[in-house]
Every structure is written in structure tokens, then in C-alpha cells.
Chain A
Amino acid sequence: MLVLRDLHVRYGAIAALHGVSLQVESGTVVALVGANGAGKSTTLNTISGLLRPQRGTITFDGEDIAGWRPDRVVSRGIVQVPEGRQVLGPLTVEENLRLGAYSRSGSIEADLQAVYRQFPRLDERRQQPSGSLSGGEQQMLAIGRALIARPRLLMMDEPSLGLAPLIVQDVFRIIETLKEQRTTILLVEQNARKALQIADYAYVIEGGMIVREGPAAALRDDPAIVEAYLGRHRA
């Protein structure tokens, strides 16, 4: 469904990605894990069109979308849940959700109700400024806002970032539900343990390059990965 080939991205003089290649199959959850500054967010922002690749291709359903404007990428069905949630604070919960449906035509009321059913907390807070929500609620709103666009590929950038452990559980439960609904997800996470538990397939990125890949279950048991990213519980 989504194929990245030899993607190179620079921020001015600094090279952030040195030839990243990865693949996301329809109906699967793919995790991209790595340390701070490894290039995880850069990869997502390049797919979504916020950054332009210097070299390489991004193919979505056979079409090369590298370098497209973000709104055109969204119109093809690739929707990003941005890092740090990025809800529009002064706007109400409902206004945020309606903006999420911007790229769609036709009535959105049914989808709005579906989001409220999935996230009852948002239903209670419909007319509240989204900036007054807690971090976890804002993350739900950011996810709801992406879902209302009916994404064919959902990209999540660090959905657990800065949330309390209990809320992180909630967020991963939502991702689990989305997985059961066969939503295609590209998940970027620093919380590698959680990400590898939920994903079907995973890539490990380091210094702007993919250094390992494989079925998530295999990476979870790989001693080198455990050592570098998961840490070991010592007896």
C-alpha cells in the first residue's frame, strides 16, 4: 500500500534521513521505533508532505506522492495524528472534529456520532475549548479528528508522548481497537515495548537509517533490540 524507497531528507545543511526504505501493507499495523533524533518524525512528516524529500520515492497505491502538498496527500487518504497532539486550543472539541472532516465531502454527522460513541469523554465536552482538555483527552481528540477524515492510512506520531502511564494504557487500547477494525496504521513510538506488542511488523531506525526490520514478535525477542531499546529487567 505504502512503499518508501531510498528516502533522503535534509534540514538545510543537516541530513536527517539517509535512504530510508519501508513498506506498509493494507490492514496491518507497522511500527517505526528508535531513539530521539533517529528520524522517526522526519519520516512521517515527509510522507505527509510537511517536508520535501531530497531524493527517493514515496509510493501510495502505485502513485508517487513524494513532494506533494500536505492537503493533496490527505485527499489521497493518508492522515497524520501529529506529535504533541496539536489540537487547536481556542476552538471547541466539535470545531476541531469538523475541521478534521475538511477533506471529505458530504454529510459528516454520522461519523461525528461514531467518534463520540468511541470517545464518550469528547461527547461530554463537545462545546468546551479543546485547550481545556487533559493531555489524554486531547490525544483522543487528535485521534478522533484524524479518524473523521476516514483515513486509508493512519499515521500516529508518538501518541503516548507526555502522558501518564494509565492514560498510555488507554491510548494503546484505542490503537488495539483500530487494529481490530483493520485500520492500516504506521505507528511511530519511543515506547518501543508497547509499540512492538501491538504491531504486526516493525522497523528500527537509527541515525536516519533503517538498521533492523522484521515481524514485531521476532524483534521483541531479539537480544540486541532488547538491549538497545527495551532495557532488561535484572533479577
Chain B
Amino acid sequence: MLDAFVVYGAAINFALINIALALSISVTLSAGLLSLSNAGFMAIGAYTTAILATKTGAPLWLSLAVAMVAAIALAIPLGAVVLRLRDVYLAIATIGFGEIVRIIILNGDKLLRGASGDSRLIVFNGAEGITLPYRDPGVLLGIPDTTWVLLAYVAALVYFLASMRRSRFGRIWASIRLDESAAATMGINVVSYKLLAFAIGAAMAAGAGALSAPIIRVIDPNNYMFGRAVEILAFAILGGTAHWSGPIIGAAVLSSLPETLRFLKDQRDIANGLIIMASIIWLPRGIGDPSFWRTTVARARVWLVSGAPASHEPAERDP
């Protein structure tokens, strides 16, 4: 078991971080919001850990809590403004937010320090970023504790999301996603529930960022650019958002592609793009779509029993 972690430990950790990010964007998508702010909130989380760890030596659980609270505190006023926009306009505005975060990190020290030149006021360290000291991970049951922490975080998100979906919140978000005016005429305060989804998604992304910092170790602003925001969206789109397992599958597949496609060398990104395009064309509801697997399993069963390729009809009628 431990041998596998020596080779693939980093890849597994990155996949878990990506899964948490995919779950964070699935919250806003479930309320019909195309928000690309998650990379920005992830940056806020990562810098929270990096700054607290290097300046105060705060433990990871504390920076996780601070990052999530900070993200919510920022998401509410930001959401109150940008959530007036819809669809692609909301996407553009939230990309803008991510860029603002990046530029503040890049240039924030100049503003803070001003003319004083006091080195204690250097917070973000500009383009060089912050390097966290290396810490030997402890090992529990053959798995490094960094991985355990991420597993626990993902499990907590899944539990939270699954119970949200089954509750009235899930129904309300679905109604807003499907028809905003119909939701409003049923008495749903559309603005508040959109804001709630936005704040929860922001907190989840910031938490993922906070936990990612000790693993990435070098935290610099270029990790959180536009490409990262799109990548997070791709996880959710590839996996589908009908069920909480969709974003997990999407993130796991896309995170492992660079490893499994390593033999393609320079053509790796092309294959990556082709796989995403193919899944959008043939599996528009995502590879994690439960109804797709139900019909596929039903068809396979008919095929195995009859020993012949099943036509569409028997599989469809199979209850």
C-alpha cells in the first residue's frame, strides 16, 4: 500500500483536491449559476494557509476554518452584486473576480508596504509566491496523513451535499435552475437562495485551497489563473451534476489522464481535449449520469441472457 503512495501519492492528493473543487462548483451549478469564481476562492484558501503557517505557525485546521469563513464573508457582498447577472455574463463577471484576486496577490505588497520598506509587511511575496517548509507526513494504515485529511474533507463535502440535495434546499435550487420565474411565483426568494449556493461553493473551494497549500508547498498567483477556473468547470461538466458522484468521477478521470496518457508525450493535451469533447457530444449529462448507467446495465443484462446484441426496445421496457 505504502509503495503505491511513494509512486502515486502526489497524483492521488491532487486528484482529491480536484474532487473537492469539482464538488464546490457543482453547488452553484445545481442552482443554475455558471460561476467561475472557484479558482479565485481556492487562491484565497491557499494563501490563508500559506500566510498563517509562515507568519504564525497556525495549525492546518485553523487555517481551514479561517479560509472558509473569509470566503463566505467575501462571497456574500460579491454575490449580492454579480448574481444579478445570468449565464455567460455571470461567468465573465466571476472570471473578473478571479483576476482581481490574482492581481491583488501579485501587487498587494506594494500597496501595503508603501514607502516604508518594512519587510514585516511583505505578505504575498508577489510573483515569487510563498514557500511552505517541508514537513515529513505521518503515516496511518500505510496512507500519509496529508491524504487522510483530504479524504476526510471530501467525505464531509459529499455528506453535506447529499443531505442538502435531499432537503428542501435541493428542491429549491433545482426549481431556480429549471425556471427562475416559476420559482419566484411559488414564493421562493430567488436572490437569497442563489447567494446561499454561491457562499457554500466559495467556502468549499477555499477549504480545498487551504488544504492544498501544504501539498503544493509553493503558493504563487499563477496557479490560480483563468485556466484553473475552466479546469474546475470541466471536472463538473465531464462528470455531470445530476448526482454528487458525477463531479467526483469527472475530477478523478481528468486528474488521472495526465498520468495514464503519459505515453502520448506532447500529444497529451490533444487527447485530453478530445476526451472532453467526445463525452460532451455522446454523454451530454456527464459520464456519471445515473440514468445512462441504468440503461447500459439493463442492456448488458439482456445481451448476456439472450446471448445476442439487444435491440433498444427490450432494454427500454425493462423496469
Hey, which bits of chain A sit against chain B, CB under 8 A?
Answer: 48-50, 69-71, 74-75, 79-80, 82, 86, 88-91, 95, 98-100, 102-103, 145, 149
Contacts and interface: CB of A to CB of B under 8 A. Distances in A.
Interface residues of B, number: 18
B18 interface: no
Nearest to A87: B182
A100 B171 CA distance: 11
B193 to A, nearest CB: 10
Given A102-B168, A103-B187, 10 more contacts: A50-B181, A70-B184, A82-B181, A88-B179, A90-B174, A91-B174, A99-B171, A99-B186, A100-B186, A102-B187
B256 interface: no
Residue with the greatest number of chain B CB neighbours at <10 A, chosen from A69, A71, A149 = A71
A88 B189 contact: no
B159 to A, nearest CB: 22
A69 B175 contact: no
Interface in B141-200: 168, 171-172, 174-175, 178-179, 181-191
| Main SS class of interface, B | helix
Contacts of A88: 174-175, 178-179, 182
B197 to A, nearest CB: 16
A172 B318 CA distance: 38
A47 to B, nearest CB: 11
Contact of B188 (A50, A86, A95, A102): A102
A70 B184 CA distance: 6
Nearest to B181: A50
Contacts of B172: 99, 102
A75 B187 contact: yes
5 contacts: A50-B184, A90-B174, A91-B171, A99-B172, A102-B172
